[in-house]
Amino acid sequence: MEVINIKGTEDTPSVTLDKEKGIFEIAGRSLPEDVSMFYEPILKWIDEYAQAPNPETVVTFKLEYFNTASSKVLLDVLLKFEEIMDNGNNVSVKWNYREDEDDMLEAGEEYADIVSIPFDYVIY
């Protein structure tokens, strides 16, 4: 599988999806002008990954901020990984947040309430 390695900007997160190295990470700020266009290749990659996932998948989120449009697509990302888990694979989420960022912790807790993937909360 091709590796996705998107360098973050002021408005878009850095994204690394590397099946071989077992790296699945979205970090930074997510408020792209066209959310669908930005996340479409990411969602397609996850669909392809779901055909033959690694035995264990740890998805790391290290977001500083995301807008409402991004929150919907991030849920779509999580739902795709939940499908992988529902098909008998080990999937977990590492939700990283700054100690003083209660909003980011709460956002992770809200996602954890929606999907059945186990979440691990990490302060950085």
- Say which residues have a Cβ less than 8 Å from residue 22's Cβ, sequence separation at least 6: 54, 56, 57, 58
Kindly report, residue by residue over 11-24, the tens digit of the pLDDT.
Answer: 999 999 999 999 99
- Rounded Cα distance between 108 and 102, Å, is 10
Could you report the per-residue pLDDT of 28-49, keeping only the tens digit for each? Answer: 999 999 999 999 999 999 999 9
| Sign of the torsion formed by the C-alpha atoms of 109, 76, 2 and 15 | negative
In the beta sheet, which residues pair with residue 94? 60, 120
Residue 53 belongs to some domain of the structure:
yes
> What is the percentage of the chain residues whose pLDDT exceeds 90?
100
Residue 106 lies in a domain: no
Is 104 domain-assigned? no
Give the total number of structural domains in the chain: 1
Is the pTM of the predicted complex or chain greater than 0.95?
Answer: yes
Q: How many whole angstroms separate alpha carbon 32 and alpha carbon 94?
A: 23
75 lies in some domain: yes
pLDDT score for 13: 98
Kindly report the number of other CB atoms within 10 A of residue 65's CB atom: 14
Quick one: pLDDT band at residue 119, thresholds 50, 70, 90? very high
pLDDT computed for residue 88 by the predictor: 97
* CATH assignment of the domain containing 76: 3.30.750
- In the structure, what pLDDT confidence band is assigned to residue 7 with cuts at 50, 70 and 90? very high
Structural domain of 34: 4-99+114-123
